[in-house]
Structure 1
């Protein structure tokens, strides 16, 4: 055995507990990235067993290794070209018959495989007795039993991993032998065709050596497009053309002789093999009466109660995550404020009027990051709740309930997954959502889904929603977040209907089949792991993309700067303020320590002291601040805390307070003028003649422009446009509350509506172009939402002003108007027969996999 760390891949169907086992093996030693060229998650992890390190990869969940979906292609390419040392095939023991189809395909690929029967406790409760030794004998691979959510079976699984990767007892080139000995499905009708193609490949073994030979022969007979493309890259045309011509002739001959297609024949032979294997190794005592999941579904999926449960679930998510999570930010903000103080202490000292560039930029970046990091408690709770929905099995029910509505609006049942990935409720991302549309079989539904996915509540929109709701709707936080989360669904469905009746008219829809997994009790470990992982992704985005955007925004807001005459004007006012200070201090001995550069240091010392006092909680903390600052500079301390009876010190304190007040006023005017006349400020002001009808000033315009690069940048930009005063360390909510005289709750509603309907971010627009292959769809995804969002926001704001209505009243009006329109459109008869698919075109799989 070499010194290379063995690579172990976990493969299995969805809902089999694969990710739970992955977390059980690797714990916190995980890294999440994307496979090259796609946005499907690639989760790497590391673990040790008996001092031997291992690397684990959690492959995307897939029901087969056919190249139809993105997940299937990613998993298959990994197995073909990455050559893992061992495959842990995780199957749901209670649904073993359905799961074994993937196992058979792994073995036909000559993958070194270990079969892991997970959820054995559920299988036992359902009256199943699995003879693991017989199963292992029939398949010629090790079989391990586990209960991942309870942590059972890890030791046995690790022992098998160690044995198989060390001894290499599982052969990787024995597929033909396995077929001959009955360990894999046999295809007698294809024996001659397989031999013929095999002979044709003689002489090109080196070019195709990395592909499993027997599996390659089967895939050629199945006319697998991805395999043909792979061979195109490896074989010259003179070799490939005769090969493909021969395969086509063999397929035609088979069709004539057996009156069926090769693909159907292979599937039937695999099914017969699985049936035989299941009958030989499994004994099932039929369950008496309905299962627990079936009894729950009678209520949860009831035609009339299902929407009620769905709405209540969404409402509770936001009540717990947004309302209660927002309360937690009161405890986390002081830590972020202290971090800002720490960074400020490392940067060059502030000037009297103008700060060094490094200090301004450094504090700008910290303020941008702090503004978003303050929402980490909210996201931890939000992602934990979503993980509970996923692990409990209710998330699949949500998809099923929503699907019945999607069909009425020109979307397909398989549109559900992209919408969920994009954030049907919150916490998603439009990029993977658009990527997931590859699995939608018909063009119309796929295009409609691509163009409506950006309306969902992606993770990056939540900070702005939370900010505005926290400032302007403190008494109606849960109701507002409920409006926001469901309003975007309403907008997406209406837009999808419009697209289906216009530019996407005439395309047919296909039925949708969805599996409803059993209800499970989520484990604390799994929920915390998922919540932490997703929150960490958010934090990393803040630390990379958002900071990069903040630097660009900072630069565009600094140049061209103040003209010389304005600079001289502020310098004169500064000199007058200092001269007034010195006049007030005439004859005061404390003036000796406030000369030249010492005066600037004294002013900064005073501001630091005042800010520390404001942040101090309680009498003891206030005393500690006094001690700290007295030790920091005993000479300056009398200016900020005059000793009892020292009238000169009190006079000095009063003079210094007036000076710092004048300085703060001048610096605020300088910052405001610099921002207003900057390049980005000029762009924001040039937009005001149009955006004024929505109540947007130039600052809001700049924030919305910055969010085009990354949605989170809207809040980060607002965080620095609403300036932090020298003697404060307040949260953005406090600063906007103090500095937003012209922004009302009505303005906030207009901002929320525009942001909800805003065009996709830059990354999403690029993905629209990639997935559609045409720039016209990308331009449509930019222009149409902009016009729609600005129109809705302007109408709402202007009408609210005319009626004198509050923000919450207008939001309620918009919401129920949209809901009424949705119901009218949804129940209106189709204009043409066959244009829209019939409702109820969805069939759920029960827990045994049968329709």
Structure 2
């Protein structure tokens, strides 16, 4: 055996347990979910057996090796180009007939194959017995049985991998490339003549096609496989390609004339017959008494009347548990974040009387930005756990089936469901992977409509702002508001998709939707918790990278160009006057000696630190501990903040210090307001006020929304600093924004929520729109249209609410039900559908039986 690491590919249909076996072999933590299409790209890993190292590749789940979908192209290109030493064909033992179609195509590609019958426990429960010896003999490939989720079969599989790779045997390969009968593959007698003609045409092109399996190549050419012909076009001259195309067209036409069917249908029928013969020879089924558990559940949750009810209840329950209950947990996590801020503040240079060192201001700005977002970690842990339960239970695939007919009415496709889910139908997603997942949608119209509507979903980065505003202004209506937000974005996406499908995307054909409904499974605690923690960690890493980077940029833009010299001098003069009043009040007080020059600044910072610690202390014991800590920190300053009993001079010093601290606080607030207001970013925000005032947005909100274009999370982080924290406090953003002095109302909050829900995609999503569509005009449309739509809706809502004196929750209800009524009108009224192609039927492929 050579020193080269053998390459082992795992190939199989969706939901066959392929990724589970990949994890079992490599020990890697692979994302595994119980709905089709989870593995959308190749995943690599390594494992060892008997001191031999192997590289494993988890290929996308696919039912065939055609070139109609992204998954099929990725898998087939890998097998053609990488030439793996062994292909582990993972099949669902309880659905062997459907799985063997891929096995047949692997054999026709001459791949060295091993058949892994997975989910044998399920097959046993359903009364299915498989004669593995006969199956191995008929296919001429080794067969091994496994139960991936229980870890059974790994040793036998590894032994088989080592045996097949070390011996160099290419199981399932076909040495001769003619169309004679091969017992381990389908036979195509009606193609004998066409194959012979292709032999003569390809004879001069041996060098150009040498790397491709010859018999498989001829079958795909006769099937008019566009991708394969494209590969040959790069190797052949125009004349050679033209002659080959002419021959293929001639043979296809001749075949249809002679047999009254197409070559593609004939090949599919022969493969079906071959697979059926295998099943008849190797599978015995003892019929179960009555329907299975999954079938019983589906009769309820897929009922045409009850299915929408279950779907709405599921969404409502997710937000009730994750947002409402998770928000309560933030009361316990915030003190730890506040303590972290205090620790960081102690490491930074000391604050000045009026102006702080740049490093201190920047450091605390970054900490405040991060803390504002980290405060929502409990919400995300619960949210991601609930989504993992939906995935692993099998209900996520049912959601796709239930909404398919609705999506078709609005120009979308059943396969649009996964991109919408990844983008955050339930919240917690991201538009970037959502747009990437649209590559599997077969028809162009639905794919483009999905790309342009995916950003309307409630991505992970939008949730902090929603949770913030709902927590401040809708304390009594949290669950209802979050239900409105979650379903409102779906309403907006469907309406926009319909508008696009009858305008810029009209004329594109749709394609039928087929999806497998996996069996219901009981999610494991380990799987749910693992994915919940992993996804939350991704969010935390994003806070530590993108958000921090954006916060630094925003900080710089808010500091430049700074205060003019005359304004700095003005505030300096006011501070000197306040110090003068302090000195006058401390006249003939011996404590005055401790409050002169630089010591006065240290005393003021000491006083503010003490007040914050007292505010955060819970209970009398904690309060006494704070006294002791600060007494040890600076015994000479302690009488200023906690006058000893009977020490009248200390009490007098304490009163004078409080007045000075109050004056300093007021001056510093005015300085920050003026600096932010006249900064570069503040100037942009103010310049937009004439337009945004109709939506209730002031310059601060404008700045926060502008910053969110780089990263959605930055909106809350920016608000967390614009609504500034006082030196002597460590309060939450909710408390600061809820202050009536900020003139924010529930109606303003509704306007912000509506605009943010319809706001253009973030920068990363915009780039992905350009990549997936290949044109800048779609990227510009994705930017300009949502901006106009969001501003129009929020301005109308706020202006109408102010004119009628309506509260925020009432106005939100009005907007929601108006949108819902419009959705029903557009979806049901025949005039809007007259020129559209009729809805194509949804075809569910139920893994536990026909529905």
TM-score when normalising by structure 1: 0.91
Q: Any conservation in 2 of the 1:94–1:123 contact (CA below 8 Å)?
A: yes
- Mapped to 2, the partners of 1:842 and 1:301 lie a distance apart of 13
Partner in structure 2 of residue 203 of structure 1: 207
- Partner of 1:845, secondary structure, is strand
The alpha-carbon distance between structure 1 residues 837 and 242, as it changes in their structure 2 partners (threshold 3 A), is closer
- Partner of 2:303, secondary structure, is coil
The alpha-carbon distance between structure 1 residues 153 and 602, as it changes in their structure 2 partners (threshold 3 A), is farther
Does 1:710 pair with 2:714?
no
Using the TM superposition, name which of 677-686 and 448-457 deviates more.
Answer: 448-457
Using the TM superposition, name which of 597-606 and 126-135 deviates more.
Answer: 597-606
Q: Any conservation in 1 of the 2:39–2:61 contact (CA below 8 Å)?
A: no
Partner in structure 1 of residue 781 of structure 2: 780
1:304-339, Cα deviation, whole Å (9 max, x unpaired): 111111111111011111111111222222222222
Structure 1 residue 112 displacement after superposition = 4.2
The alpha-carbon distance between structure 1 residues 224 and 200, as it changes in their structure 2 partners (threshold 3 A), is farther
- Mapped to 1, the partners of 2:502 and 2:781 lie a distance apart of 16
Structure 1 residue 214 displacement after superposition = 5.1
How many aligned positions are there? 841
Structure 1 residue 748 displacement after superposition = 0.6
Partner in structure 1 of residue 196 of structure 2: 192
- Mapped to 1, the partners of 2:472 and 2:818 lie a distance apart of 25
Q: Any conservation in 2 of the 1:457–1:756 contact (CA below 8 Å)?
A: yes
Partner in structure 2 of residue 794 of structure 1: 795
TM-score when normalising by structure 2: 0.91
1:668-717, Cα deviation, whole Å (9 max, x unpaired): 21111111111111111111111111111111111111122222221121
- Mapped to 2, the partners of 1:740 and 1:694 lie a distance apart of 19
Partner in structure 1 of residue 691 of structure 2: 690
Partner in structure 1 of residue 548 of structure 2: 547
- Mapped to 2, the partners of 1:328 and 1:202 lie a distance apart of 69
- Mapped to 1, the partners of 2:733 and 2:654 lie a distance apart of 30
The alpha-carbon distance between structure 1 residues 732 and 303, as it changes in their structure 2 partners (threshold 3 A), is same
- Mapped to 2, the partners of 1:604 and 1:55 lie a distance apart of 59
The alpha-carbon distance between structure 1 residues 749 and 640, as it changes in their structure 2 partners (threshold 3 A), is same
- Partner of 1:271, secondary structure, is helix
Structure 1 residue 754 displacement after superposition = 1.1
Partner in structure 1 of residue 674 of structure 2: 673
Q: Any conservation in 1 of the 2:107–2:172 contact (CA below 8 Å)?
A: no
The alpha-carbon distance between structure 1 residues 761 and 357, as it changes in their structure 2 partners (threshold 3 A), is same
- Mapped to 2, the partners of 1:3 and 1:368 lie a distance apart of 52
Partner in structure 1 of residue 104 of structure 2: 104
Using the TM superposition, name which of 407-416 and 675-684 deviates more.
Answer: 407-416
Does 1:144 pair with 2:161?
no
Structure 1 residue 610 displacement after superposition = 2.3
1:418-470, Cα deviation, whole Å (9 max, x unpaired): 32222222222223333333343444333333322222222221111111111
Structure 1 residue 832 displacement after superposition = 6.5
Structure 1 residue 821 displacement after superposition = 1.9
The alpha-carbon distance between structure 1 residues 766 and 648, as it changes in their structure 2 partners (threshold 3 A), is same
- Mapped to 2, the partners of 1:50 and 1:664 lie a distance apart of 71
Structure 1 residue 590 displacement after superposition = 3.5
The alpha-carbon distance between structure 1 residues 759 and 649, as it changes in their structure 2 partners (threshold 3 A), is same
- Partner of 1:431, secondary structure, is helix
Q: Any conservation in 2 of the 1:508–1:835 contact (CA below 8 Å)?
A: no
Structure 1 residue 635 displacement after superposition = 3.6
- Partner of 2:106, secondary structure, is helix
Partner in structure 2 of residue 171 of structure 1: 170
CA RMSD of aligned residues (A): 3.1
5 Å matches for 1:766-845? Answer: 766-830=767-831, 833=834, 835=836, 837-838=838-839, 841-845=841-845
Does 1:351 pair with 2:352?
yes
Q: Any conservation in 2 of the 1:30–1:46 contact (CA below 8 Å)?
A: no
5 Å matches for 1:529-608? Answer: 529-608=530-609
- Mapped to 2, the partners of 1:85 and 1:522 lie a distance apart of 35
- Partner of 1:176, secondary structure, is coil
Q: Any conservation in 2 of the 1:404–1:842 contact (CA below 8 Å)?
A: yes
Partner in structure 2 of residue 445 of structure 1: 446
- Mapped to 1, the partners of 2:200 and 2:531 lie a distance apart of 50
Does 1:649 pair with 2:653?
no
Structure 1 residue 764 displacement after superposition = 2.5
The alpha-carbon distance between structure 1 residues 239 and 608, as it changes in their structure 2 partners (threshold 3 A), is farther
- Mapped to 1, the partners of 2:26 and 2:301 lie a distance apart of 35
The alpha-carbon distance between structure 1 residues 380 and 222, as it changes in their structure 2 partners (threshold 3 A), is same
Using the TM superposition, name which of 433-442 and 384-393 deviates more.
Answer: 433-442
Unaligned runs of 5+ in 1: 33-37
Q: Any conservation in 2 of the 1:113–1:170 contact (CA below 8 Å)?
A: no
- Mapped to 1, the partners of 2:115 and 2:594 lie a distance apart of 79
The alpha-carbon distance between structure 1 residues 472 and 397, as it changes in their structure 2 partners (threshold 3 A), is same
